[in-house]
Structures are given as structure tokens and as C-alpha cells.
């Protein structure tokens, strides 16, 4: 252990602001990238299911000959 107490750890020998800023921003940006990648996948699959649903509705409407 390079630090004696939790306060020491957060202070980082007086460089706490720079160290935690670096780590904080880095992991924030990485988190945004990961979330963006995951939501993109969901969005793609959702548009595909919506398209399938629409196509099925159109098919059903065509099969129903009693309208007009």
C-alpha cells in the first residue's frame, strides 16, 4: 500500500485534482462510448422489428377483401 489512509489516497500527494480529473474524464468518455455502442444495437434491432410488424399489418390489410 502506497497510502496510509483514505484521505491520503484521495489527496494523491497534493496532485489529487489532476489524477482524479484524468481518471474521471477517461472513464466517463469510455462509458459514453460503451453505452452508445449498446444503444445502437438496440436501436437497430428495434427498427427491424418495427419494419416486420409494419409489413405484417400491410399483408393483413391486403388479405381482408371486404373493405372497399
> φ, ψ for residue 36 (rounded to 5)?
-60, -45
- Distance of alpha carbon 5 from alpha carbon 8, whole angstroms: 5
Q: Which of 47, 54, 57, 58 touches other proteins (CB under 8 A)?
A: 47
58 is an interface residue for other proteins by CB under 8 A? no
- Distance of alpha carbon 49 from alpha carbon 42, whole angstroms: 11
Q: How far is the CB of 1 from other proteins (least distance, A)?
A: 6
Comparison of 49 and 67: residue with beta carbon closer to other proteins: 49
15 is an interface residue for other proteins by CB under 8 A? yes
Amino acid at each position: 500500500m502506497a497510502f496510509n489512509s483514505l484521505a491520503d489516497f484521495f489527496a494523491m500527494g497534493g496532485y489529487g485534482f489532476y489524477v482524479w480529473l484524468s481518471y474521471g474524464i477517461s472513464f466517463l468518455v469510455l462509458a459514453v462510448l460503451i453505452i452508445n455502442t449498446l444503444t445502437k444495437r438496440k436501436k437497430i434491432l428495434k427498427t427491424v422489428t418495427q419494419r416486420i410488424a409494419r409489413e405484417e399489418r400491410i399483408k393483413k390489410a391486403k388479405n381482408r377483401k371486404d373493405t372497399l
